[in-house]
Structure 1
């Protein structure tokens, strides 16, 4: 009787076999395999695997022939694309009705753009041309805040066909909150004044998902997302603030804790798992920022909460409610702020520049990584590990800076560059990876949305006084594929 053949495991695969399997994997999946064990690391880093990933991401881009391995080429190309270092992005412009309000809220989704105009929300489908596909007229007054929540993270999720869909939450001065998804909607009523804040994430008390809202009535309302609670969604009302709610954020280390901040710069932490009958005991901590202005940005990471208000960014330890650090950009009022605590970076926009900070320095004094100069007040900001994107309303231009070096890498126009002969302004901006959309207006062409995608770009940007890299050539088909 013949002996059975020994079984083969994943670590027995060579680079070519793993490359064949990688047709169903992305770069992150391959990187995860590389961290599993040493044999898989060697196979996952081979050129065959990364050649397939490169061609899958950029099918019309010839793989450069150079000293670097294909994996290094992939990483460099990926980095430069995400830093928007090209002159030929896929560009699409959508012109708005000049009689309608200027967009004030703008969000960029996987395959769509969401924006508000007064009491109305619209969604555009992305493609060669942006196409209006949905209009929500559920509010009777100006929208104050918008959020998108993955449908799969809510009780509203029904099937895998909706895996990539989002639920839209909006608050308004009409005192209501609306939730819209897949052609359905729900209205939350309870605030006695305009609703001014929506939590950045859904709370999770272990049994259901909860949406937190705050308003001019100085209260926080907790709404159940459970479909069984459709007729009576209000779970509880939290009292304790004396001024209008400005910001709400869910704690990073515990998803049942809610951090709230009001216009008088008071900060409170609430335990949403506390019984509704003990509303007074729901508040488990408080602090005062001693700031000269209202809060404009908030971000929770690990056990810390970073809040920008007045001329300071304060980090509060949510376990003790004591200040962990204070960042003060030269006593200048902060107009915008983006925080990336996982990379130890904070960027603040002031009257004529943006300041990029390294927050690893302790106590009061922080280290400024770079000063990014602007022609006007920096009210629009985006920060990620690759780049800082900033805009000034009256400038009509977007400036892109490299996060690691602080070097200017590109300038983008709100309008079509060849047609922007008149003055243009910008009212909103949203960035997602290598994609950006801006809302603005031109003195000659009216209000518009400008979408740009750098994923398939190939022509390096040429900035005055800066040498242009010739690393990336023209786009070609590769006969080997």
Structure 2
């Protein structure tokens, strides 16, 4: 592919600090394309107008981090699910809580509003899918079939079906009227993160962590095509409103696909990192991503994007014949039959109504009293949710697209001179740089803003144990300069160079010692040698290898590793905690049933040395696991990814009790 001409096809729109703590979920409104909702570890849901810096409304009431949020199509209701399993529905126009729904036993991973009826679907880490009647707070149906967390739910455009995607690598289609599964789509080899219905035809798309997008025919219930070679796990997909193509939000790029046959129409470079949600507005595509407490929004001008025609050729592959696309607008499948009118917004029903499936408890009432909708920006709130002389409750759609930033000739010249880089080994890509994105060097001022230290240091920092960032980049006060020049930045980096070299040299020497033992094929002795070095970083490196192959784990290996896992789980480094959780999960899944069975078995008659040794190992593992279980129980109340991992481990360790 030739080096693309640098134009304003895509640009960064805005970056905001969305929450006081980490952002845990976000979603764009699909009606106007101008409303953004974010959920955070601070247990709040915040509403934003895209491209405006101030929060419109902050919704409180949840007592644990908000894991999933969803706006209904008219953008008049919002639903949010938390780590504790509770769900709350707010009326945005009235600025008040509408419903509190309780029933899930674990994290709420996915939510969706029914397009016409007064229902909400929820998917949880407890593997259940529930359909709620938000008029009466009642659960209408519970759909059971997935064996792992349900990551995405989508109602069909006609409101008759519900599609679900889960970590068990499957996609399921549910008939809402019959209350049962219609079909199961198998083929993905990794967790399925997202599903989307075609807006007009009986077609479903699914994106997975296995880096593929699959298209499913909903009449024949079979795969139509499979797109492979995505740069990373597929987290966000969106059909064009007219159904002509599918957009995939990849790492730092947007890809445009057709499916019959599978082909890539275009690749657009966007520096959005891991984009979390996509929508379209005024022939522009809006993408949003988040990192820690920040949320960034980006715009792609679809007028400059190819959405049909020839295949985008990969320069490292041999040229292939170009497939002829299906003519735009032609349909080869049955279309959805939509109701003529949509249902109105749910109204509160009397508490003594006989039609209620269950009476709301006093706890639910207290939750609703404690839940608040705090208007932060009255002007934007009135403009969006209470427009003057508007009969419709739908937010007004602004006709003007987001303007592109002015062209910077210097930046364009600099961009054009950059060499092409490969994003991924499997699928080389053009240069990921963008004239709108300029890496910033940290600014040193005389009065730095105070910032709370995180409880866990993110793994992305890759800091060696015992060292802090200040060991490598000591603060330098420069009151008369607003930013540092390249020489100053390099000087600061070099100050930590010698320390880093000493740490890495020592670590490399220790790993060579362990590797020498590893080559003998004795895994247990290798782990023993790593433990004897008394350096957790070496233990982490070795466990990351062992975790890749479950067959390497033996019972005697567990007795050595479990005390190290207890140390890893208490580490302040995220990578150490992640490795410890992964190892412990493998041990629990592989050996806990064996340990409990052997300990529960009656004593044998006579002398059986091998059985006695196995019994001794099981007792030792049981004692170590009991010690760890207290730590797991304590940490299961944490927020973010760690709390989720510890809660899953807590469930796996239930047989110990």
Q: TM-score range by the shorter chain?
A: 0.5 to 0.7
Residue 432 of structure 1 pairs with residue 280 of structure 2: yes
Q: How does 1:293-332 map to 2 (within 5 A)?
A: 293-301=148-156, 302-309=159-166, 310-329=168-187, 332=190
Relative to total residues, which structure has the larger strand share, 1 or 2?
A: 1
Relative to total residues, which structure has the larger helix share, 1 or 2?
A: 2
In structure 2, the partner of 1:175 is 43
In structure 1, the partner of 2:111 is 248
In structure 2, the partner of 1:358 is 217
Alpha-carbon contact 2:162-2:174 (below 8 Å) kept: yes
1:196 to 64, 67, 80: 67
Runs of 5+ in structure 1 lacking a partner? 1-85, 95-112, 114-123, 125-131, 154-163, 416-423, 441-446, 470-481
Deviation at 1:261, TM superposition (A): 1.2
Q: Deviations over 1:231-279 (max 9, x none)?
A: xx2233211111111111111241x1111111122111111112xxxx5
Q: Deviations over 1:187-242 (max 9, x none)?
A: 221111001121241699xxxx4422110121111223244xx5xx2233211111
In structure 2, the partner of 1:453 is 301
SS of residue paired to 1:91:
coil
1:383 to 211, 220, 239: 239
Alpha-carbon contact 1:91-1:450 (below 8 Å) kept: no
Deviation at 1:374, TM superposition (A): 0.4
RMSD: 4.0
2:85 to 218, 227, 230: 218
Q: How does 1:51-90 map to 2 (within 5 A)?
A: 90=7
Q: How does 1:19-58 map to 2 (within 5 A)?
A: none
Aligned residues: 300
Residue 262 of structure 1 pairs with residue 135 of structure 2: no
Deviation at 1:336, TM superposition (A): 4.0
Flag the structure with larger Rg. 2
Deviation at 1:376, TM superposition (A): 4.4
| Whole-angstrom CA distance in 1 between matches of 2:146 and 2:310 | 47
Alpha-carbon contact 1:346-1:356 (below 8 Å) kept: yes
The higher relative CO (CA closer than 8 Å, separation ≥ 6) is in 1
| 1:465–1:448 Cα change, 3 Å | farther
| Whole-angstrom CA distance in 1 between matches of 2:134 and 2:323 | 54
Residue 411 of structure 1 pairs with residue 273 of structure 2: no
Alpha-carbon contact 1:93-1:448 (below 8 Å) kept: no
| Whole-angstrom CA distance in 2 between matches of 1:352 and 1:185 | 36
Alpha-carbon contact 1:262-1:295 (below 8 Å) kept: yes
| 1:294–1:89 Cα change, 3 Å | farther
Question: If the length of structure 2 is used for normalisation, what is the TM-score?
Answer: 0.40
In structure 2, the partner of 1:140 is 20
SS of residue paired to 2:111:
strand
Runs of 5+ in structure 2 lacking a partner? 290-294, 314-318, 325-657
In structure 2, the partner of 1:91 is 8
| Whole-angstrom CA distance in 2 between matches of 1:244 and 1:368 | 31
| Whole-angstrom CA distance in 1 between matches of 2:73 and 2:207 | 28
| 1:339–1:296 Cα change, 3 Å | farther
Alpha-carbon contact 1:335-1:377 (below 8 Å) kept: no
| Whole-angstrom CA distance in 2 between matches of 1:436 and 1:270 | 31
In structure 2, the partner of 1:19 is none
Deviation at 1:356, TM superposition (A): 1.8
